[in-house]
Amino acid sequence: MIIQRQEDVTDAVLDAVKNTADPRLREILTALVKHLHAFARDVHLTEDEFEQAVQYVVRLGQKTTDTHNEAVLMSGSLGFSTLICLLNNGNKGQTETTANLLGPFWRMNSPRTESGASIVRPPTPGPALFVDCWIKDTNGKPIEGAEIDVWHSSPEGFYEQQDPNQAEMNLRGKFTTDARGHFSFRSVKPAGYSIPIDGPVGDLVRATGRHHYRPAHLHFLIFKDGFKTLISQVYVNDDARLDSDVQFGVTRALVGNYVRHDGAAPAPDVQGEWYSLDQTFVMEPGKSRLPKPPIQ
C-alpha cells in the first residue's frame, strides 16, 4: 500500500508480514510491529533520539566478544531476562519457581566433587559456608541422580576466571544427588559484585541513577532426564542490595536462609563466624537440555 499518513505505516508493515509462513514467527512479528510503533507514538520519539537509539544498539554489538555479552547484560538490566524466566517456569508463570537467570559465568566441565566435600581450591580466605541442597519434583518426591553444577564468586566478589589470585575452577563443582535427593558441599560465603559498566549498559545505569551491583548469590544448574533443566541462584539474605539488584534477579523464593553461627563448626579447622544454608529446589517435568555456555 502507498502510505499517506503516519497512521498508515503500521498497517503497511502488518500487511507485509501477514504471509510469513511460520505461524509463531508471524505472531511475534505482528505483535512486535504493533508495540514498537505504539511506543514511538507514545513518547513521540524525535529523529535525534532515534539516531541515538540506533547507535546504542550498534554499541551493544560492538561491545560483545567471545567472553562478554553486552546484549544479555542489557536484557537483564531492563528486567527482561527475569520476565522471560518467570513467564516460562513455575507452571508458565502461575506458581512460585526456583528458576532464575543463568548469568555469564557458567562453564562446562566443572570438577566432579563428592557430596560433602569442599569446592574451595586454596587459597581463598573468607567465612566458611556449609550448604545442604534438596532436589524434589513438583509432588515433593526426592530426585535421585540429578547432576548439579555449582559456581559462585569469591568473598571479594570475583569469579575464578576474572581473578589471577584464584585457582582454575575455584568455587566450582559438579555433584550428584543421592536417594534422598540430597547433596552438600563446603565453600566460602560469596560477595556481591559490580556488573561491567564500561559499555552502553553502564551508560544506562548511570543515567538512571542506580547502583551497578548484584547482591551475593550461589549459582546452580540442575540436570536430570525427564525434567526441565533448572537454572537457579540463591541470594544471600543479609546483603544490603538484596532489593535493588541491578539485574532484577532476586525473587522471594530464592532469598536463601544463610544462617550465621559463631560456635563449633562442622569442620575442626573453622575459626570464628561461619554460615550454613539449607535450600530446596523444585524441578518441573519437561525436557532436559544444557544451555550454550556463555563463555569458553
Q: Tell me, by CB under 5 A, how many residues bind Fe ion.
A: 1
Give the range of 95-103, 223-231, 241-249, 283-291 binding Fe ion by CB under 5 A. Answer: 95-103
* Cα 37 from chain centroid (whole Å): 30
Q: Which residues contact 41 (CB under 8 A, 6 or more apart)?
A: 6
- Give me the long-range contacts of 81-90 (CB less than 8 A, separation at least 24): 81/247, 81/248, 81/249, 82/247, 82/248, 82/249, 82/251, 86/251, 89/228, 89/284, 90/284
Measured from the CB atom, is 214 or 228 closer to Fe ion?
214
In the complex, least distance from residue 174 CB atom to Fe ion, rounded to whole angstroms: 17
In the complex, least distance from residue 118 CB atom to Fe ion, rounded to whole angstroms: 20
Instruction: Considering only residues 18 through 57, tell me which ones interact with Fe ion, judged by CB under 5 A.
Output: none
Measured from the CB atom, is 103 or 256 closer to Fe ion?
103
In this structure, what C-alpha cell is assigned to residue 68? Answer: 562478554
Give the range of 17-25, 62-70, 97-105, 277-285 binding Fe ion by CB under 5 A. Answer: 97-105
Alpha-helix runs per DSSP H in the chain: 6-17, 23-43, 47-63, 70-77, 80-88, 90-93, 200-207
Residue 221's alpha-carbon distances to 7, 95, 152, 290, in angstroms, are 47, 20, 12, 9
With CB under 5 A as the contact rule, the residue among 76, 90, 103, 192 that binds Fe ion is 103
Up-side HSE of residue 279: CA atoms within 13 Å toward CB?
29
Measured from the CB atom, is 220 or 274 closer to Fe ion?
220
Q: Which residue is nearest to Fe ion (CB)?
A: 103
Angle at 10 between CA 28 and CA 31, to 5 degrees: 15
Q: What phi and psi values does residue 141 have, to the nearest 5 degrees?
A: -85, 135
Give the range of 27-35, 98-106, 167-175, 179-187 binding Fe ion by CB under 5 A. Answer: 98-106
In the complex, least distance from residue 85 CB atom to Fe ion, rounded to whole angstroms: 14
Other residues' Cβ atoms within 10 Å of the Cβ of residue 151: 23
Using CB under 5 A as the criterion, what x/- string covers residues 107-126 for binding Fe ion? --------------------
What is the residue whose three cell numbers read 563448626?
265
Give the range of 7-15, 93-101, 103-111, 279-287 binding Fe ion by CB under 5 A. Answer: 103-111
Other residues' Cβ atoms within 10 Å of the Cβ of residue 3: 12
Measured from the CB atom, is 181 or 190 closer to Fe ion?
190
Give the range of 70-78, 102-110, 239-247, 258-266 binding Fe ion by CB under 5 A. Answer: 102-110
Measured from the CB atom, is 220 or 227 closer to Fe ion?
220
Measured from the CB atom, is 103 or 199 closer to Fe ion?
103
Can residue 249 be called a binding residue for Fe ion (CB under 5 A)?
A: no
**Binding residues vs Fe ion (CB under 5 A):** 103
